[in-house]
Structure 1
Amino acid sequence: MKNKSFFDSFNNALYGVVRSIRTERNLRVHLIVSIIVLVFALFFNFSTLELLILIFTLTLVICMELINTAIETVVDLVCGKNRHALAKKAKDVSAGAVFVASLCAVLVAYVLFYTKIAKHSINLFEKIRHMPYYVTLIAILIVLVLTVGIKAVTGYTRFLRGGMPSGHSSISFAIATAICFMNKSILVMSLSYLLAFLVAQSRVEGKIHSILQVIAGAVLGILVTMMIFQIFS
Structure 2
Amino acid sequence: MNKKKKQDIIQSFNVAIEGIIETIRTERNMKFHSFCAVVVVMLTIFLGVSRMELIALVTSVSFVLVAELLNTGIESFVDLVSPEYNPFAKRAKDVGAGAVFVAATNSVVVGYLIFHNKISVQFGQFFVLLKESYSNIMVFIIVFILLLVIGLKSYFNRGTPLRGGIPSGHSALGGALFMGIFFLTDDKRIFYLSLFLLILVLQSRVEGKIHTVLETIIGVILGMGITYIFLSLLNI
What is the TM-score of this pair, normalised by structure 1?
Answer: 0.48
Larger helix fraction of residues: 2
* Larger gyration radius, structure 1 or structure 2: 2
What is the TM-score of this pair, normalised by structure 2?
Answer: 0.48
